[in-house]
Amino acid sequence: MAKAKVVHFESIPARAVGPEAAGAAIRVLISDEADDAPVYVMRMIEIQPGGHSPDHAHPYEHENYVLEGEGEVMIEDRVWPVGPGSVILVPPDVRHQYRNTGSSLLRFLCGIPVARLRPSAH
């Protein structure tokens, strides 16, 4: 049975995404593994000025809400500006990338389904 969780996001370490995502870090706020949350994973993505997420696609949707900073999201061949209050839905199997175009941290929430619910999971 899942336990309740109430913490400040800064108590959850940010880890670098990797070399394909310069200046990007991720905090896994709520997950199946750590919190026994069976349906939804909540992550916080933080991108430094000039940084970006990987240019990639995967078989599950992203549900995003921008908390702070300025940037843009590329979805397929289209680019949209994003900032505080922007809501973004990236459908499954669609190429996408986030870029920080501002002078301060770009921070947004990112919701995805847990691994066992992804169509490609075995």
Nearest partner of 109 among 49, 26, 48, judged by Cα: 26
Domain presence at residue 120: no
Tokens of 57: 């696609």
pLDDT digits (tens, 9 = 90+) for 33-62: 889 888 899 999 999 999 999 999 999 999
Residues contacting residue 13 through CB under 8 Å, at least 6 positions apart: 27
The continuous run of DSSP H or E covering 107 comes out as strand 106-113
- How far does the chain reach from its first CA to its final CA, in angstroms? 23
Domain presence at residue 28: no
| Residues of the domain holding 74 | 45-92
- Distance, in Å, from the CA atom of 80 to the CA atom of 78, rounded to the nearest integer, reads 7
Domain presence at residue 50: yes
User: Average pLDDT for residues 92-107, to the nearest whole number?
Assistant: 97
pLDDT digits (tens, 9 = 90+) for 56-85: 999 999 999 999 999 999 999 999 999 999
Domain presence at residue 27: no
How many domains is the chain built from? 1
